[in-house]
Amino acid sequence: MLVRLDPMTAPAIRIAGLHKHYGDLHAVDGLDLEIPRGEVFALLGPNGAGKSTTVEILEGFRKRTSGEVEVLGLDPQRAPKSWRTRVGVMLQTTSSATALTARESVSYAASLYPDPRDVDETLEAVGLTEKANAKAATLSGGQQRRLDVALAIVGRPELVFLDEPTTGFDPEARRHFWTLIEAMRGDGTTIVLTTHYLDEADRLADRIGIIANGRLVALDTPVGLRRRAAAARISWVEDGEERVEETGAPTALLRELLARHPGEIEGLQVVHPSLEEVYLQLIDDASHEARAPEEATS
């Protein structure tokens, strides 16, 4: 049960025992989570894991089956219209279904907020200055996603939800977007990000939550998640042959190698598991755990 806190000092998001059921399908199955103000939080998980449902509940677009939720100190299901001006939302669907130009779209969105960002500055921040007068429907897929980002941030929200924001971005545009997110973090904006790009989560997120089968299976910093891996892979050349060993104590193995080799160790490489490898292992473990009760009763 959530305890009422001062809205100005409480976490941006607080969730206790969140459930969302569709008949026998438990899309979200007992989720507990807190996200402090000013944090960039990445919610990761495979398709159908429950992350989009969770985010839609936090945005106030979907009703929960049970549990308690507070976003900026209020329940999204009962929050007044003034709450909406404090929250920016980027949906997976693009903003192409409009006859407005990019500048007109952002200008209209800005008019809905009490203290919006400058429209042209916002377009520049997402790399759309040269396309400001182009109709949204004529923009490429990546450019439409940039416009969606602009619409989500132009209101200068305290909290912004970005759902797969860089889908369709070229590498340069993705790097530009990352710089924008880092600037927003510097301004104290809380950002909840869903993405399938593990390098994006690794670069941007202060913490990462991994959801599978409607449950949070891991919650840690990117560095903390990588440290969960059991072994590092060390390779070197000895007596003309390549040697490879996986070990949970790489420092001890390196000391042993240094003791055996008075000079440089030929071909020495120490490779720690990537965030992607750790993520895939966590998802695989969660999948096996989910199947175990079914297999036991079959």
Return the percentage of the chain with pLDDT > 90, whole number. Answer: 58
Over 70: is that where the pLDDT of 48 sits?
A: yes
d(CA 151, CA 173) in angstroms, rounded, equals: 17
Taking residues 287-298, report their average pLDDT. 61
- Report residue 91: phi and psi, to 5°: -95, 165
Angle at CA 293, nearest 5°, toward 292 and 297?
A: 115
Mean pLDDT of 22-32: 93
pLDDT at 3: 58
d(CA 241, CA 40): 46
| Mean pLDDT on 84-98 | 78
Q: Please tell me the number of Cα atoms within 13 Å of 234 on its side-chain side.
A: 18
pLDDT digits over 218-240, tens only? Answer: 999 998 998 877 678 899 999 88
Ordered structural domains, the chain, with CATH: 37-47+81-225 (3.40.50.300), 228-297 (no CATH)
Alpha-carbon distance of 264 to 278, in angstroms, equals 31
Q: What is the pTM of this model?
A: 0.84
- Token pair in block for residue 191: 């950002």
Backbone angles phi, psi at 12, to 5 degrees: -65, -35
| pLDDT computed for residue 1 by the predictor | 58
- Rounded to an integer, what distance in angstroms lies between the CA atom of residue 195 and that of residue 212? 14
Place 287 in a pLDDT band, splitting at 50, 70 and 90.
confident
- In degrees, rounded to 5, the angle at the alpha carbon of residue 36 between the alpha carbons of residues 89 and 41 is 55
- Mean pLDDT, the chain, integer: 88
Confidence of residue 214 (pLDDT cuts 50, 70, 90): very high
Helices (H), 111-197: 119-125, 141-153, 171-186
Q: Residue 259 above 70 pLDDT? A: yes
Q: Give, for 144, the enclosing helix (H) or strand (E).
A: helix 141-153
Average pLDDT estimate for 46-50: 90
